[in-house]
């Protein structure tokens, strides 16, 4: 089945540790996105990529890094510089072309130990 797969579903991070969240899609979508969702809040854009080997910062990029080496994959690293990483992280993708919505993965819930 075509879709967006995020892993792991739950992740725990120790102080000072970097962790990487995986996002893979087999929809042949060009653009991919990472959002953060805090309780009672909407989604805030961390990074996005419209083509392979290119990505742009969103509204809250500090403390995060990404790569886009393959069309299907857009991993997000939460670095030790991100002081408040506990949140629900959602990956999305969409195809180019007018009026196409973004589709989302099931998310990764990150907590601090």
Q: Show Cβ contacts of residue 25 under 8 Å, excluding neighbours closer than 6 positions.
A: 3, 4, 5, 32, 72, 93, 105
Compute how many residues bind other proteins; rule: CB under 8 A: 25
Per-residue contact flags (x/-) with other proteins for residues 43 to 82, judged by CB under 8 A? xxx--x-x-----x-x------------------------
The answer to whether 14 contacts other proteins (rule: CB under 8 A) is: no
The answer to whether 34 contacts other proteins (rule: CB under 8 A) is: no
Measured from the CB atom, is 13 or 44 closer to other proteins? Answer: 44
Measured from the CB atom, is 84 or 98 closer to other proteins? Answer: 98
The answer to whether the CB of 82 falls within 8 A of the CB of 64 is: yes
Q: 36 is written with which tokens?
A: 């953060």
How far is it, in rounded angstroms, from Cα 88 to Cα 54? 24
């Amino acid at each position: 089945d075509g879709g967006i797969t995020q892993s792991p579903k739950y992740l725990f991070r120790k102080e000072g540790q970097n962790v990487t969240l995986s996002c893979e899609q087999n929809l042949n979508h060009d653009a991919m996105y990472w959002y953060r969702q805090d309780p009672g809040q909407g989604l805030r854009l961390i990074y996005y990529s419209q083509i392979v080997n290119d990505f742009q910062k969103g509204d809250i990029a500090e403390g995060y890094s990404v790569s886009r080496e393959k069309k299907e994959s857009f991993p997000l690293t939460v670095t030790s510089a991100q002081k408040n990483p506990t949140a629900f992280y959602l990956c999305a993708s969409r195809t180019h072309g007018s009026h196409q919505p973004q589709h989302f993965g099931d998310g990764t819930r990150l907590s601090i130990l």
